Amino acid sequence: MATIRDVARAAGVSIATVSRVFNDHTLVNPETASRVLEIATKLDYWPNGAAQSLTTRRTQTLGVMLPELFGEFYSEVIRGIDRQSRAHDYQILLSSSHSNGEEVLIAGRAMLGRIDGLIMMAPDEASIETVERVRRRVPVVLLNPRIEVEGCCSVAFENFSGARAAVTHLIGLGHRDIAIITGPPGNVDAEERLRGFRRALADAGMDPDAAAVIPGDFRESAGYEAGVALLARKPRPTAVFAANDGMAVGLLAALAAAGKRVPRDIAVVGFDDIAMAAYLNPPLTTVSVDACGLGHRAVDLMMGAIESGPTGGSLRQQLPAVLVVRQSCGSATAGTGLLEQTAGSSGGTVRRGRK
Amino acid sequence: MATIRDVARAAGVSIATVSRVFNDHTLVNPETASRVLEIATKLDYWPNGAAQSLTTRRTQTLGVMLPELFGEFYSEVIRGIDRQSRAHDYQILLSSSHSNGEEVLIAGRAMLGRIDGLIMMAPDEASIETVERVRRRVPVVLLNPRIEVEGCCSVAFENFSGARAAVTHLIGLGHRDIAIITGPPGNVDAEERLRGFRRALADAGMDPDAAAVIPGDFRESAGYEAGVALLARKPRPTAVFAANDGMAVGLLAALAAAGKRVPRDIAVVGFDDIAMAAYLNPPLTTVSVDACGLGHRAVDLMMGAIESGPTGGSLRQQLPAVLVVRQSCGSATAGTGLLEQTAGSSGGTVRRGRK
DNA sequence: GCCAAGTATGAAACCGTTTACATCGGGAGC
DNA sequence: GCTCCCGATGTAAACGGTTTCATACTTGGC
């Protein structure tokens, strides 16, 4: 394939001139420029990206590392990152499905020299080493970090207050025996949501330790199994808070299979507000987080960090988690699930209806 | 940051030796190796990816270009690509949301030198130029190509036969006045599905030109509007084939808002089988395509192409589109939408129930 | 007619690796 | 004791660009 030298030779100029034409840097004689461009087209010359980033130390690429790519949530995060990156003329180098620190380290190493910054959702503490090493070279933005890292920006959802609001809502509806299906152990989001659940109970003068805690792993199947387990329990809880919507879906299926009616027999609340939540039967009351917005915000922080260089401070941002009341919790004022019914009431943290 | 030279100097060896240690290429004295490794760790040395790929002409990265990143379908494709790439130790360089040929060209140019191959779903014919130019340098695999390109592998869904099966099923249920909500003009998938729709009618001795064709664009809102338009029509079609599930969702919402019952008043069939399809009210009969599998297959083809070099032939693969009968079409044998009911009947192209 | 300023271009260093080839000891074979 | 071979390592040339600095040639002002 043609290199800059081939073009220079064919056009009878030096490679410096060709480079200048392509970066329209300094003034180049228009005649020379057009001749070079013409030759370049004829030779099908395209600058080599690796060579460019080697000299300029710029790649116009953002690294993105995610723990795993299943579930709608992560897709949305990627969408948000992608969209905002494009707006800033950046491409994204994606590497996901990392289950342990070792894999993260390898992926991080492979990215080095190819990225101007790294947006990362770390699955576990073992990844912190990678973060530290990468951070010495390019800015790092953490998503929902388990541990804040000195010198890294981060964006996180208000998991705690979102969960608390959801459970408080159930309590307000009269429920006194509320169970929770948790996320995988060690997952920050899961832990924060559990903490919010317990706080809500405590705030209402109930004993958090008395509540049924069913272990889950954020997958639909875990929700189903949890549902089966719950039904065998006596006394049976009157409401369940599933730590994410995926498990709520499985739970609803288990309840339907057992002939239980939601919310009459048992109330259900989820977390995430995935696209199908409004279309479930009954429409799912859940806590809405803007996954796409998380990615968007992460890119914004990254752009700031890249601008300001390694001296940039470590901003911490929180994104709201908003309770969306639909029908699965039995609220009298719930939306229909098919028609928009946004209410401006309840202190601004509760929405009703479809979106 | 430390370079290979720093390590070499500190360890009292040449850069060649350091390089050899890191690529455990040729025999290196174990003692020397461990000393180099130790120094490298102390200096926090990581090889620079850009420099490596400049000399080796390998990047361990696959370019991925998609027209736009909205909707579950594309997320699934990316998931499939990502998973399979990781299995082969490749990362992916993502660039999406390209709406025109110009943007595609720029993105392609930015990728050059950073990728070992390109997986691309081209939005329009204007992108063909980019494909051609990229193809001269690295292998290209096309997804659902509008036009096959000489020397490129491709993977596509059987849009045509999938749509035909869906409409034939409606006809088998007794429907004689069937409408279609189409995808955006110029979209291959949309066109193929329309073609399948017309063929099914023709096969049944009906006049394709007499059918109602409502223009859509694959978005939920278009489905809603199409629903409104359909309800105003007289005589009103007894069944509707929406060219994708997103529009079917909107259509169901419009019908519900008008108090129509599905499938009693009107039957609905979609295309894609997105995750929420089974949870809609009623569960949506649709044509299932394995978007994740599409990405997976594309990577497999790419690996073959990279192995065999530019001489590699141009394989064309078709992935099946399978009709999944649920309740929205009014079939007597439909699944419940919540319990798995896979039937092995009907020539193997029809499944029933949830998945 | 000379100097300063400005424009267009070239020469060469550099970015951080890999790798072909050269070099250098030392032990084996005879 | 002389080759020959081999293992360990160094030298230096790529890879394909960008960029600093130098140079040659025009102009314009006085």
pLDDT in tens, B274-295: 988 988 889 999 999 999 999 9
pLDDT of residue B69: 56
B342 confidence band (pLDDT: 50, 70, 90): very low
Is the pLDDT at B99 greater than 80, yes or no?
no
What does the alpha-carbon distance between residue A288 and residue A159 come to, in Å, rounded to a whole number?
10
Is the pLDDT at B16 greater than 70, yes or no?
yes
pLDDT of residue A27: 79
The minimum CA-CA distance between A93 and chain B, rounded to whole Å, is 4
Asked if B161 and B117 touch (Cβ cutoff 8 Å), the reply is no
B347 confidence band (pLDDT: 50, 70, 90): very low
B241 confidence band (pLDDT: 50, 70, 90): very high
- CA torsion angle B18 A58 A105 B25 (round to 10): -30
What does the alpha-carbon distance between residue A164 and residue A184 come to, in Å, rounded to a whole number?
19
Is the pLDDT at A258 greater than 50, yes or no?
yes
From chain A, pick out residues whose CB is under 8 angstroms from the CB of B78.
69, 75, 78, 94
Whether a cis peptide bond, with omega within 30° of 0, leads into B320 is no
Mean pLDDT, all residues of chain B: 88
Give the SS3 label for residue B91.
strand
pLDDT of residue B339: 37
Is the pLDDT at B349 greater than 80, yes or no?
no
Q: A-B interface: how many C-beta pairs under 8 angstroms?
A: 152
State the residue for tokens 């390209």.
Answer: B98
pLDDT of residue B338: 40
What does the alpha-carbon distance between residue A256 and residue A252 come to, in Å, rounded to a whole number?
6
Q: Which nucleotides of D are covered by protein (CB under 7 A)?
A: 7-12, 14-20
What does the alpha-carbon distance between residue B328 and residue B222 come to, in Å, rounded to a whole number?
19
Is the pLDDT at B267 greater than 50, yes or no?
yes
Q: Is A70 on the interface with B (CB under 8 A)?
A: yes
Residue range A121-139, pLDDT digits in tens: 876 777 888 898 999 999 9
pLDDT of residue A351: 59
A181 confidence band (pLDDT: 50, 70, 90): very high
pLDDT of residue A297: 96
B123 confidence band (pLDDT: 50, 70, 90): low
Cβ distance B79 to A82 less than 8 Å, yes or no, reads no
Cβ distance B338 to A256 less than 8 Å, yes or no, reads yes
B353 confidence band (pLDDT: 50, 70, 90): low
Is the pLDDT at A98 greater than 80, yes or no?
no
Q: State the average pLDDT over residues B165-183.
A: 96
What does the alpha-carbon distance between residue B277 and residue B290 come to, in Å, rounded to a whole number?
14
- CA torsion angle A27 A32 A33 A35 (round to 10): 180
pLDDT of residue A193: 96
Residues within 8 A of A (CB atoms), B 285-314 only: none
Residue range A213-251, pLDDT digits in tens: 999 999 999 999 999 999 999 899 999 999 999 999 999
Nearest CA to B241 out of B172, B176, B163 is that of B163
Is the pLDDT at B39 greater than 80, yes or no?
yes
The tokens for A318 are 């929180």
Mutation target to probe the A interface, by most A beta carbons within 10 A, among B94, B219, B338 is B94
Is the pLDDT at A341 greater than 60, yes or no?
no
State the residue for tokens 């998609």.
Answer: B66
More confident residue, B125 or A183: A183
From chain B, pick out residues whose CB is under 8 angstroms from the CB of A50.
50-51, 53-54, 59, 113-114
The minimum CA-CA distance between A119 and chain B, rounded to whole Å, is 14
> What angle (nearest 5°) sits at the alpha carbon of residue B130, between those of residues B127 and B136?
145
* Pairing label, strands A91-95, B91-95: antiparallel
State the residue for tokens 């494909």.
Answer: B131
More confident residue, B333 or B135: B135
B336 confidence band (pLDDT: 50, 70, 90): very low
Domains and CATH numbers, chain B: 4-47 (1.10.260.40), 59-157+291-319 (3.40.50.2300), 159-290+322-352 (3.40.50.2300)
Q: What percent of chain A has pLDDT over 90?
A: 69
Q: What percent of chain B has pLDDT over 90?
A: 70
A148 confidence band (pLDDT: 50, 70, 90): confident
Mean pLDDT, all residues of chain A: 88
- Contacts (Cβ under 8 Å, ≥6 apart) of B12: none
Closest alpha carbon within chain B to A338: B253
Q: In angstroms, what CA-CA distances link A286 with A195, A323, B298?
A: 17, 6, 37
Q: State the average pLDDT over residues A106-119.
A: 94
Residue range A33-43, pLDDT digits in tens: 999 999 999 99
From chain A, pick out residues whose CB is under 8 angstroms from the CB of B2.
none
Is the pLDDT at B335 greater than 60, yes or no?
no
B344 confidence band (pLDDT: 50, 70, 90): very low
From chain A, pick out residues whose CB is under 8 angstroms from the CB of B75.
72, 75-76, 78-79
Residue range A159-172, pLDDT digits in tens: 999 999 999 999 99
What does the alpha-carbon distance between residue B145 and residue B116 come to, in Å, rounded to a whole number?
20
In chain A, residues 51 through 80 whose Cβ sits under 7 angstroms from any atom of nucleic acid strand C: 51, 54-55
pLDDT of residue A213: 97
Asked if B256 and B227 touch (Cβ cutoff 8 Å), the reply is no
**What burial letters (b/e) apply to B45-84, b meaning 16+ CB within 10 Å?**
bbbbbbbbbbeeeebbbbbbbbbbbbbbbbbbbbbbbbbb
Where are any strands of DSSP class E within chain B? 61-65, 91-95, 117-120, 140-143, 153-157, 178-181, 213-214, 239-242, 267-269, 286-288, 316-319, 322-325, 350-352
More confident residue, B353 or B170: B170
A158 confidence band (pLDDT: 50, 70, 90): very high
Is the pLDDT at B161 greater than 70, yes or no?
yes
Long-range contacts of A201-209 (CB under 8 A, 24+ apart): A201/A167, A201/A171, A203/A164, A203/A168, A204/A168, A204/A171, A206/A171, A206/A176
Q: In what side-by-side order are the strands of the sheet with A239-242?
A: A213-214, A178-181, A239-242, A267-269
